[in-house]
Amino acid sequence: MAYFNELYSGTKSLFIGMGITIKEFFKPVVTLQYPHESLTMTARFRGHIELVRDLESGGNKCIVCGMCQKACPSGCITGNGEKREGVKGKVLTEYTLDFTKCSLCGMCVESCKPAAIQFSKDYNLAGPSREAYIYDLLKRLEEQK
Amino acid sequence: MTTELIRLLAFLVGIIAFAALNAAYLVWVERKGAAHFQRRIGPKEVGPYGLLQPLADGAKLMSKQLLIPDGVDPILFKIAPLMVLVPAVMSFVTIPFGEHLAARNIDLGLLMVFAFASINVLGLLLGSWGSANKYAVIAAARVISQNIAYEIPMLLTAIALVMATNTMNLNEMVSLQGGGFWHWNLIKLTFTASPLTPIAFLIFFTTMLAETNRAPFDMAEAESELVAGSFTEYSGMGFGVFFMGEYANIVIGAALTTVLFLGGWQSPLPFLPNSVVWFLMKMYVIIFTVVWIRWTFPRTQFYALLNLSWKVLIPISLVNLIVTAGWLKVF
Amino acid sequence: MSADVIDKSLETFVLNLGPQHPATHGVLRVKLTMDGEYIVHAEPVLGYIHRMHEKMGENRTWAQFMPNTGRLDYLAALSYNHGYAMAAERAEGIEVPERAEYIRCITVELNRIASHLLWFGAFVLDLGGFTPLLYAFDDREQILDLLESVTGARLTFCYFRFGGVYNDIDDNFITGTREFIKRLRSRMPMYHDLVTNNIILIKRLKGIGPISQEMCRRYGATGPVLRGSGVNFDVRKHEPYSVYPEFDFDIPVYTDCDSMARYMVRMDEMEQSMRIIEQGLDKLPEGPVMAAKAPKILKPAKGDYYCAVEAARGSFGIRLVSDGTNTPYRLKLRSPTFSNLSLFAEACQGMLLPDALALMGTLDLVIPEIDR
């Protein structure tokens, strides 16, 4: 009897399973057709970092304190600055991000006192070579004008 | 004489074209079907609705190198894919697509299909053995015992049908099912031969899945266990031909189920004309069910599969055979 | 377990399962000595994705190790964040605001559900069923979307900080989470009908792959593997941390010791996690999410600190040895799947290959966490 019971309940379970999949078959698709459609990233999305534009001066907000460089666990940030006459503090002359090493942890953004860096919303990055991922963020900021 | 020759040639070309086209487009059906069962879209980039995808796949497979690894038996390795494909194509010879649309109307048609169907296992075994791969050999051992186990209930249910219909000629078998869907063997025999016929149909369908190595009985491939089972070492068109063979086998299985149980080219309602369209429709419904099953269930465990055959399918089909015999004797 | 245990009279062969094999989910390699389809002897080979996380920890400041914790078990990264943050807080003596603790518990439990959903899908995939994986992914995406809106990442989270969390959660997250729980509650019966009650699956899991309590103890197995063997142990209950004592939830325990028991433990755990999240959202207090007095640069007093959390795969322990400088002197990670995997060699002896793979699936291995 147990044999027939199992046979019955087993066969029934198979038909229940098929019922579920056929119901799903006629439901609309849930996927996004990526290269044709894409999502806008949420406000907190952590892409690679970029410099924030200073709305007053049009340049960057960096004070070349070097905190981001120190905070970075992987050492991907190189920043340099120089003293210029007539300008208070240092002026940023170089800011490169070696994205090949970056793990997008956000330690740099957190450590930045003047909030001079932020996460970009770029996520579909592709490049032909390793060098393509060494970003000159200062140049990037200028090009964004 | 010449008309006979032309007829044969036409059918040869027709059958090969039909088998190849089906094999190619069943891949598309499978991918599209799988996608929608999983609420995706599936192939869509190559041509409208991805309809040119099989061509692209074919071009890709053909342009790939036929890699023959060290240590394989080169002859067996090369011949095995053909041994899967050719018998499958041969089985089409006797399938009655329409009332007068069969390459050969053989009196022992049913027997011939079964005879050819059992060759493809041999192809899988030789290919696996020849490729000298441990995963492949394990898969081959599984496939052989699986096919032996499942051929028995398949033949037993077929015998019961033959007893009831008194013929092994597939075209004749279809002719006997004319006049509306209640004359189909699935329903008709339930009253005239054996009330177990719907169960026999389920058994036949299950064994058909197993014989064609389809999920949930896909021991020949068993992707997550045996990498790619029998096909592990195959690349390019070697793999492609195996695949075509597999799909041709599914078409044969579905066609045979249609002929035996669902009235072949007979229309479901008496006032509609009989036509090859009905045959194709029924066949593709069955094929869709096969796809549907594949994308629903996990794979059976190997010994559970053998248990299912020896402990469930064979006893029940034997009972069906006896009931049929008794029924025919009494009424 | 040396090679001479193997009976020489058997005609055996060696099968290399992995490091490239669909069922090992990563770069695990298992050297199997097989007698036909029966496993005579198994030897897991590790190290294909060893990244020296422990050594890296010794060369970084305390805070800089935080991103690494998200890369151990990338499927339940927040639990590992939590473990490390708590260990360091314990060392430094930082009090975490209550709201932050609630947020931690809510996000960790969400992450646990995501991890179990992925396990569920991948496990059924191991057994040859493809479709449930995609359904589970559909639900998991919802969690990832929620977590992304808070943490900014989808997989390798780095959200907790010493003294709190990085960002506060907003109303969108709260309503989104409530909606998600409603959705998953309605989906669970579907999963059970489609997979759990399926006769094929039952046949493959019931009574297969027994792991006795004694074996679990010997190898130090934790998490669902242990609970599937009838031991009621969950760090959240037995060594309470964070605000878990405030929540009312059960520890699912099954005594069958087979693959089905481990499967059921995880399925039930998802329900319990949903309960925790709901309670957490109800009780969520107002307040800061970062301790006011949390130091920017950690320099814990000399000493030896240990902290364990219940990650999705079992008890994750982290031992910190501080010599009073701004880098750890020693950082030891006790990863649950390492212990869980080590019992595989013994447990799978005499099993058929597909059964052993089902057993391996129920261990829920994440290879980067084993190798570290």
Q: What is the DSSP string of B224-270?
A: HHHTTGGGTT--HHHHHHHHHHHHHHHHHHHHHHHHHHS-TT--SST
> Across the interface, which of B41, B297, B312 has its CB nearest the CB of A29?
B41
Does pLDDT of C83 surpass 60? Answer: yes
**A88 in a structural domain:** yes
**A11 in a structural domain:** no
> Which residues of chain C does B33 touch, with a Cβ-Cβ cutoff of 8 Å?
none
Q: Which residue of C has its CA nearest to B304?
A: C203
So what's the pLDDT on residue C1?
41
So what's the pLDDT on residue C116?
92
Task: For chains B and C, count residue pairs whose Cβ atoms are closer than 8 Å.
Answer: 82
Domain C52-367 belongs in CATH node 3.30.470.20? no
**A44 in a structural domain:** no
Does pLDDT of C58 surpass 60? Answer: yes
- Report chain C's mean pLDDT, rounded to a whole number: 86
Q: Are C333 and C98 in contact (CB under 8 A)?
A: no
- Report chain A's mean pLDDT, rounded to a whole number: 83
Does pLDDT of C10 surpass 70? Answer: no
Q: Could you tell me how many residues make up chain A?
A: 145
Alpha helices in C220-342 (DSSP H): 224-227, 235-238, 259-283, 336-342
| Pairing status of strand A117-119 against strand A49-51 | antiparallel
**A34 in a structural domain:** no
ipTM here: 0.81
Q: Rounded to whole angstroms, how far apart are CA atoms B69 and B83? A: 20
Q: How many domains does chain A have?
A: 1
Q: Which residue of C has its CA nearest to B302?
A: C354
**A78 in a structural domain:** yes
Residue A137 backbone class (left: φ over 0; alpha: ψ -120 to 50; beta: rest) = alpha
Any B CB within 8 A of A37 CB: no
Q: Which residue of A has its CA nearest to C145?
A: A42
Distance spanning both ends of chain C, measured CA to CA: 25
> Across the interface, which of C13, C135, C354 has its CB nearest the CB of B134?
C13
Mean pLDDT of C24-49: 85
Enclosing domain of residue A94: 49-143
How buried is residue C214: exposed, middle or buried, by Cβ count under 10 Å (0-12/13-18/19+)? exposed
Q: Which residue of A has its CA nearest to B36?
A: A25
Q: Where are the domains of chain C?
A: 52-367
Mean pLDDT of A90-102: 84
What DSSP character marks residue B271?
Answer: T
Question: pLDDT class for C117, splitting at 50, 70, 90?
Answer: very high
Q: Would you tell me how many other CB atoms lie within 10 Å of the CB of residue B80?
A: 28
Residues 6+ apart with CB under 8 A from C139: C117, C183, C184, C187
Does pLDDT of C2 surpass 50? Answer: no
Cβ–Cβ gap C353/B224 under 8 Å: no
Give the closest-approach CA distance of A61 to chain C in angstroms: 22
Structure tokens at B56: 């692209």
Structure tokens at B62: 């053909």
Kindly list the partner chains of chain B, i.e. chains with 3 or more CB atom pairs below 8 Å: A, C
Residue A97 sits at φ, ψ, to 5 deg, of -115, 120
Mutate to test the interface with C, among A44, A69, A121 (most CBs of C within 10 A): A44
Q: Which residue of B has its CA nearest to A26?
A: B36
Task: Residue C227: name the closest of C152, C335, C315 by CA.
Answer: C315
Does pLDDT of C212 surpass 60? Answer: yes
Residue A126 sits at φ, ψ, to 5 deg, of -150, 145
**A2 in a structural domain:** no
CATH code of the domain containing A121:
3.30.70.3270
Q: Are B96 and B178 in contact (CB under 8 A)?
A: no
Amino acid at C299: K
Residue-wise pLDDT tens digits, C304-356: 888 889 888 888 889 989 888 888 888 888 888 888 888 888 888 888 888 88
> Which residues of chain B does C34 touch, with a Cβ-Cβ cutoff of 8 Å?
134
Q: Report, as ranges of residue numbers, the positions in chain B whose pLDDT lies below 50.
A: none
Give the closest-approach CA distance of A63 to chain C in angstroms: 20
> Which residues of chain B does C126 touch, with a Cβ-Cβ cutoff of 8 Å?
224
Amino acid at B55: L
**A118 in a structural domain:** yes
Residue-wise pLDDT tens digits, C184-194: 999 899 899 88
Cβ–Cβ gap B38/C37 under 8 Å: no
| DSSP letters spanning C224-243 | HHHHTTT----HHHHS--TT
Q: Please state, in angstroms and as integers, the Cα–Cα distance from residue B321 to each residue in B187, B209, B326, C288, following that order.
A: 17, 21, 9, 78
So what's the pLDDT on residue C6?
52
Give the closest-approach CA distance of B305 to chain C in angstroms: 9
Bridge partners for A98 per DSSP:
A134
Q: Please state, in angstroms and as integers, the Cα–Cα distance from residue C9 to each residue in B243, C5, C348, following that order.
A: 39, 12, 21
Question: pLDDT class for C7, splitting at 50, 70, 90?
Answer: low
Cβ–Cβ gap C129/B224 under 8 Å: no
